[in-house]
Amino acid sequence: MSVAPVDAVVAAFDTADHVVVMTGAGVSTASGIPSFRGDDGIWGAQFDPNAFHISRFERDPAGFWTDRLALYEQMLPAGLAPNPAHEALAALESAGRLDAVITQNTDGLHRAAGTTSLIELHGTTAQVRCHRCDAATPAEPVHQRIRDGENPPHCPCGGVYKPDVILFGELLDREALSQAKSLIRETELLIVAGSSLTVQPAAGLPRGRNGADLVLINYDRTPYTETADIWIDGDVSTVLPAIAAALVE
């Protein structure tokens, strides 16, 4: 497949009544969030993925939280803010050109940019959830309690708080996955931005599109590159704003 220009995506928007965007880690790298995989990725180079398995949380919640807080502070440095890719998608939604964003990211930057129709497949770092009663609460006050010595942090019910993200060994939230599948099945244009489409089960979602055009915006080839309708080999933080500029008055 040859690399297509931005105006090919703009034309695809103009012929679609329903548009959904699916995003991966590449959308957040311009905000300063390091990648998890690859030669310089967090996994392997700095942190052991096994330390963040659900079985480790259940067996050793204090040790888990010590490592989790270190990971959180490395992954989400102070002053983190949405970048032009997040802002472009929020602008497209606000203008009525985008129906929803489905993201594999947990950083909360889509929501911070103003996207409201958002499915966070892997959860969000913005809150924690009690592993006993399922009550959710903002994450930062709980993080501060850990820094102050309460480790592991407890819910008023007596249960232990867990990050409200999908840990290794856990299944994706059934409702979120069902909503994502429904959106993709009903859309006429599916854009996948900044995702290698190699991590299951999210990687399988584009197969569920029902005749929708598929656009890939990603530096590297993916398992879908050869069958996609449009591929832009470029930086999502440049490409998405260019698309939004052409579509949003």
Has 161 been labeled as part of a binding site? no
Answer for the pair 158, 183: CB distance below 8 angstroms, yes or no.
Answer: no
Sign of the C-alpha dihedral, residues 97, 102, 105, 111? positive
What is the rounded distance in angstroms from the CA atom of residue 232 to the CA atom of residue 237?
12
Helix (H, G, I), strand (E, B) or coil at 137: strand
Has 135 been labeled as part of a binding site? no
- From 53, 122, 143, 154, the catalytic residue: 122
What is the rounded distance in angstroms from the CA atom of residue 94 to the CA atom of residue 114?
9
Has 157 been labeled as part of a binding site? yes
Has 227 been labeled as part of a binding site? no
Give 201's Cβ-side CA count (13 Å radius): 14
Closest CA to 141 of 161, 112, 115: 161
What is the rounded distance in angstroms from the CA atom of residue 27 to the CA atom of residue 144?
28
Bridge partners for 101 per DSSP: 21, 118
Burial annotation 180-215 (CB, 10 A radius, 16+ → b, else e): bbebbeebbbbbbbbbbbebeebbebbeebeebbbb
For residue 66, CA distances in Å to 40, 105, 153, 192 come to 22, 22, 11, 34
Is 122 one of the catalytic residues? yes
Query: Which residues are known binding-site members?
Result: 130, 133, 155, 157
Q: Which residues are catalytic?
A: 122
Query: Which residues are known binding-site members for Zn(2+)?
Result: 130, 133, 155, 157
